[in-house]
A = this chain, B = another copy of it.
Amino acid sequence: MHKTCDVMMEKNILEENSKLARKNRDLFEEHGILAFNILGAIGSGKTTVIEKLSERLSDARVGAIAGDLAGKDDYVRFKARGIPAVAVNTGKDCHLDAHYVSHALEELPLDDLDILFIENVGNLICPVDFPLGTAASVVIVSVTEGDDMIRKHPLIFAQSDISVINKVDLAGIMEVDIGIIESDFRKINPHGKLIKTDARRGDGLEELSDALGLG
């Protein structure tokens, strides 16, 4: 009984998520919105990267969904910049899923958006299995997480469309060798896009914007 329930539940949950992700994708297409799933551990700089990309995209209409267990910190940061945003508090859930996103979309002015950044709950583990219907996923890590983070979390770096190493300016003081991170990444995702940024200063944002097809 235990085992049957377990397998059934996981299958049901992932199938349900896929169905809702397809609905989200259809909705994005219908409204001409390019949506991105932004992944990464707490403190990797997801919010700052979104803020800086939005600054660069002054001609585009950008919206955001801020996913967190609790609090509205990132939502408040987006709103302060005039970005239409929704805060999604997941309580104990360690990831957004297509269902959370579908409800958040009901609160956004979809006809007035060109680009949507969905900032997922901060960790490198749980969001992997739950596509949201976005055009692409971007995983952001910070050098402050050490040079072993890719070896410890291979799956998310294998599956994301673009990987970003942020806060490269702190590599020296953190005694982190970025070459090791790059080399680990190449083993897991030989042809994947890997971009180095110092989002606070704006370094590497042009390359990231290009990689996202935003010019």
Interface residues of A (CB under 8 A from B): 2, 5-6, 8-9, 12, 41-43, 68-71, 73, 92, 94, 121-126, 128-129, 142, 144-146, 148-149, 151-155, 167, 170, 173
Contacts and interface: CB of A to CB of B under 8 A. Distances in A.
A71 B144 contact: no
A70 B152 contact: yes
A122 to B, nearest CB: 7
A157 to B, nearest CB: 11
Contacts of A173: 170, 173
Given A41-B42, A68-B152, A69-B152, A125 B129 contact: no
A8 B2 CA distance: 9
Nearest to A68: B152
**Number of copies of this chain that the complex holds:** 2
5 closest Cβ pairs, A-B complex: A43-B145, A144-B144, A123-B123, A71-B151, A94-B125
Nearest to A151: B71
Nearest to A89: B152
A138 to B, nearest CB: 18
Given A41-B41, A170-B173, A173-B173, A69 B155 contact: yes
Given A92-B155, A94-B94, A173-B173, A149 B42 contact: yes
B6 A2 contact: no
B144 A70 contact: no
